[in-house]
Structure 1
Amino acid sequence: MHSFDSNDFSYDNYRRLLTFLDNEYEIFSFKDAYRLGAKILDVPRFVILRHDVEFSVKGALALARIEHELGIKSTFFFLQTSDYNCFDRHEAERIREIISLGHDVGLHYDASLFEDMKVDPVVAAKLQIKLFECFFNVKVHAMSSHMPMRSGKAFSIDGVIDTYDPLYLRDIKYISDSNQVWRENISTKGLLEHQQIHLLLHENTWSDDGLSIFEISLAEAFEKFQKHHTNALKYNSMVKVGLKNRAVKDNEFKKRYFSSN
């Protein structure tokens, strides 16, 4: 039996956790859960493995690569209203790599934001799903609410699993690592008390050196600052070059868009 330390949030310990789970349970993604439906309860021992990506697509990719090394597939739920941008070139390339590794992707939506903006949550979520499916050429099988305790209004979309449906929250044991605070006994012995588990692991919980959640947040903020600073310098340089060639570029633009055939 592979033992792991519930207080260690390093990638090495993440590997130990997954190896233990893989030896003791059948591991499903929510794509598998979609295929099985309620019949999933007929499987005697399983873990549905899910990731709500809160801050870092880079961190999500790190988990995806580790799981791929171990032959494990899971579902990564991405926010379209976070401080990362799924459709930024670099972030999109990372998401596409996650998909290429065989993982499933889903929508992580912010219901409280929908309420604050006074938009229809069903319409908004459907549009976000459609955009994600179109941009990444995938089928979204499930959606996950961001911090569901902040919003009292639940909603559903036909043909899309809600990860907080009673089937996955009541009939199956739900365990999460939110903010590096396990709400259950996550020891090997504690896990084995449950036959069917819905396991939520966040990308901002784990790191190479097992940093605290505060240290991970600071490192992520600094990396994003560096990225924006570099982009600002590139943009300023591009503007200077563009101004020098403005007349030429204006003429080229007019020829492309206004010249008659």
Structure 2
Amino acid sequence: MGHKIGLHFNYKGKRDKKSIIKELLVQSKVFNHEFKNQYEFFSPHRPSKFSTMFKINLKNLTNTYSKLFFNDFDIANKDKKKIIYLVDSRHEWKFLHPLKLNLSEHKKVHLVFHPDAWSKNGFSKIKNYNLLRHEKSIEFNNTLLTETDYLTK
């Protein structure tokens, strides 16, 4: 089907372009190690908070928020040849749920999602948030127990 995988890049509050690029290169190195150098795209997390994100392009990494890939939803929804952007921002599908998209009409989809932030049962935002906090707390505590067992000896 011609799908491409990309890094959904978290710039961890960095503000200057040099620091952002340095963090991007660190995260992409880890990502490429895990995925055997399969990807060449990155998608910044919450790019609208920092306009520099739209302008970062590197030799071997393409920014999916550049004008080549990113279109206004309403424009792309009307012009089926344009790439349509779907995102699960803050546990909600911002424009349209991907399963409601007619893929026979839209051949190019820019899909950004956070699979680690969803529950199996599709709870409300608050219930999902509390469930995730509980799950991550258990995971964190288990990690502490297994990684610090040398302290109890």
TM-score, normalised by the number of residues in structure 1: 0.44
Question: What pairs up with 1:53-68 in 2 under 5 angstroms?
Answer: none
Does the 8 Å contact 1:177/1:205 carry over to 2? no
Does the 8 Å contact 1:175/1:182 carry over to 2? yes
* Distance in 2 (alpha carbons) for counterparts of 1:132 and 1:125: 10
Residue deviations 1:56-89 (CA, integer Å, cap 9, x gap):
xxxxxxxxxxxxxxxxxxx3xxxxxxxxxxxxxx
Structure 2 counterpart of 1:123: 22
Structure 2 counterpart of 1:191: 102
Structure 1 counterpart of 2:7: 107
Residue deviations 1:209-245 (CA, integer Å, cap 9, x gap):
221232222212111211222333445653231xxxx
* Distance in 2 (alpha carbons) for counterparts of 1:168 and 1:219: 34
Aligned length: 138
* Distance in 1 (alpha carbons) for counterparts of 2:105 and 2:148: 57
Structure 2: segments with no counterpart, 5+ residues = 72-81
* Distance in 1 (alpha carbons) for counterparts of 2:115 and 2:35: 23
Structure 1 vs Structure 2 CA RMSD: 3.1
Answering whether residue 36 of structure 2 is matched by residue 138 of structure 1, we say yes
Whichever structure has more helix as a proportion of its residues is 1
TM-score, normalised by the number of residues in structure 2: 0.68
* Distance in 2 (alpha carbons) for counterparts of 1:191 and 1:212: 26
Q: 1:29 to 1:192 in 2, by over 3 A?
A: closer
* Distance in 2 (alpha carbons) for counterparts of 1:235 and 1:199: 36
SS at match of 1:167: coil
* Distance in 2 (alpha carbons) for counterparts of 1:168 and 1:126: 21
Kindly name which structure, 1 or 2, has the bigger radius of gyration based on alpha carbons: 1
Does the 8 Å contact 1:111/1:121 carry over to 2? yes
Structure 1: segments with no counterpart, 5+ residues = 1-26, 31-74, 76-105, 242-261
Does the 8 Å contact 1:176/1:199 carry over to 2? yes
* Distance in 2 (alpha carbons) for counterparts of 1:206 and 1:237: 31
Percent of residue pairs identical? 21
* Distance in 1 (alpha carbons) for counterparts of 2:30 and 2:118: 29
Structure 2 counterpart of 1:168: 69
By relative contact order (CA 8 Å, sep 6+), the higher-ranking structure is 1
Does the 8 Å contact 1:185/1:191 carry over to 2? no
* Distance in 2 (alpha carbons) for counterparts of 1:193 and 1:229: 46
Q: 1:239 to 1:185 in 2, by over 3 A?
A: closer
Q: 1:205 to 1:194 in 2, by over 3 A?
A: farther
Does the 8 Å contact 1:175/1:199 carry over to 2? yes
